[in-house]
Chain A
Amino acid sequence: MRLPSFNYLEPITLTDALNLMEEYHGRAQPLAGGTELLPRMKLGLTHPTYLMSLKEIHELKGIKSNKNELYIGGMTSLREIFLSTLLQQKFLAISEAAGSVAAPPLRNMGTIAGNLCQDTRCFFYNQSYFWRRGLKPCFKAGGNVCYAVPGSKKCFSVYQGDLAPALIAFNAKVRIEKKGSSRIIPIEELFSGKGEKPIVIADDELLTQVIVPIPEGIYGSSYRKFRLRNALDYPLVSAAAFLAIDSEKKVKSVKVVLGAAGPAPVIVKEAEDILKGKKVEESAINEIAEAAYKRAQMVDNLGLPASYRKKMVRVFTKRAIENAFNSIK
């Protein structure tokens, strides 16, 4: 369980970092907070030759905003996001999601970019060498078996990041940069939907910024997370909801996103049709919860049986919508 050896790079500007990424032909693994990557290295799940720490690149840290958009640097800590008054007032779900990650020491280290790029997880994959020895590698480990669903042809590992569902609910985007170019994509496009390689980002690219459009009018949001313990645990199910209403309390727009319900965050697209132009009523919330239930893909590869987790999709979808509605001031 010791950290294997690696070469350490520590650029102090973004330009240097992007240069290094090109120079090392994608073999320089970016190290943000390290709270995900280092345990994976200790378990022997990944073996980067070069670790490139981003902690000294101050231009990647901090929260800024103008009239239309909020900008969160990729290296901004989850603690800062959780405690930001601006986020607590205008982007409650994002603040709640950041505050629900792991435990305070991990939130001090963990960053928004790191959290977004978190790898998918599975009980049959996130195990020590001791546990895995003697077993053939699974799909996620580059092999061609699945221990979670024996006989299956694909990987069923689960995306358990907390921030992504909340950010997607706000239609957030990310800026991805490489030497000489930069692109901005909606966050949902960051995810491939494949458990084997869930994050679509090239080896020489860096996620540098999260951009959240500031919603207009009257709205509320919420992130609800189901887990066994009130600290440390990844979500076993989570739901983020964004809800904007007009002066007659009719829904102008709604977005509901599930976490830990498949290899990528799951957008419950039915929500818009069900609620738009209507008042928020229990029957509509139930209908969305039902749609969420149908969209969630779950197998027995996390802390609780899939059957129970799936039931919880309904409960937490409802709670997220209700809390989002109740948070409207």
Chain B
Amino acid sequence: MTRDKKPYMKLADIKETLRAEVIVGQDKLDLPVETGCASDLMSDLLRGPTNGAVLLTGLNNIQVIRTSVISGVVAVILIRDKKPMPEMTSLAVEHGLPILSTPFTMFSSCGRLFNKGLRGVE
């Protein structure tokens, strides 16, 4: 859970913790994730500092992908088993942005990751 004393989780750890399905980014499970954020409000993300963070969201549209790219989010987790639209998937592939889908709710997903040591963007 540490790398040069800086806490982080690999995307693979997040996948396991959230029992998530990888929709985009099967080849990126080694990706280090430094922080987490959870929001359905895209302007909250843009307020930062979300560089290097994983995003948990219940919002399921193409703006999630564009907002993530703009705000430096490194992976998107859709909660409650939501699956992305085809246009979201292709845009995420284009930008190399992993998308995972977890059966857990927003609250439970955040709690599980926090319990594993992942902290929020502050």
Q: Do A and B bind each other?
A: no
